[in-house]
Amino acid sequence: MPAQAPASIYEISATSIDGRSVSLDTYRGKVLLIVNTASQCGLTPHYKGLQALYEQYANQGFVVLGFPCNQFGWQEPGSSEQIQAFCEKNYGVSFPLFEKIEVNGSNAHPLYQYLKSAAPGTSGTPEIEWNFAKFLVDRNGMVVKRYAPTTNPEDIAQDVQALL
């Protein structure tokens, strides 16, 4: 029998890229943009826009959370250390990154089980379509919107502003 879905995003924990367990309750009261990422994808330059959004709105209570995933074309093959070094060196990423997870299938991380049930995809299916799918979560932990992988981070700025 599948595990019961959490009632709130704040009941979920994830492992940071440096191996620490992090309760998402840490981010209670903040606006979140949660993204499944990959270092060898055509959309990898989205890291630059995600970092710019983070820098622009962090002091107002906005956080980007990056979750590397290797389920789409094996575009995130590296270790946590390699992923973190790549993101810092190439895109100056300073927003929180987490250990590699699965976002689809029977081993999907509980966070993605929750996000997909709260905001089905643009294709009408709850499955994540590709790297860099984005979920906007309000200060109360409610999923407000799901964006297609190809949605540029700068195109989300207005929605972020509205929640801040």
Residue-level pLDDT at 30? 97
Instruction: Indicate the pTM of the whole model.
Output: 0.94
Active site residue 87: no
CB 118 within 8 A of CB 106: no
What is the spatial distance between Cα 83 and Cα 77, in angstroms, rounded to a whole number? Answer: 9
Domain boundaries, the chain: 9-163
Task: Pick out the chain residues at pLDDT < 70.
Answer: 1-6, 122-123
Q: Which amino acid is at 117?
A: S
- CA atoms in the 13 A half-sphere facing the CB of 89: 7
What is the spatial distance between Cα 154 and Cα 13, in angstroms, rounded to a whole number? Answer: 28
Q: Which CATH number is 9-163 given?
A: 3.40.30.10
The catalytic residue among 38, 41, 133, 156 is 41
What is the spatial distance between Cα 80 and Cα 77, in angstroms, rounded to a whole number? Answer: 10
Residue 147, both tokens: 């964006």
What is the spatial distance between Cα 147 and Cα 86, in angstroms, rounded to a whole number? Answer: 24
Residue 98 φ then ψ, to 5°: -125, 170
Residue-level pLDDT at 2? 47
Residue-level pLDDT at 7? 74
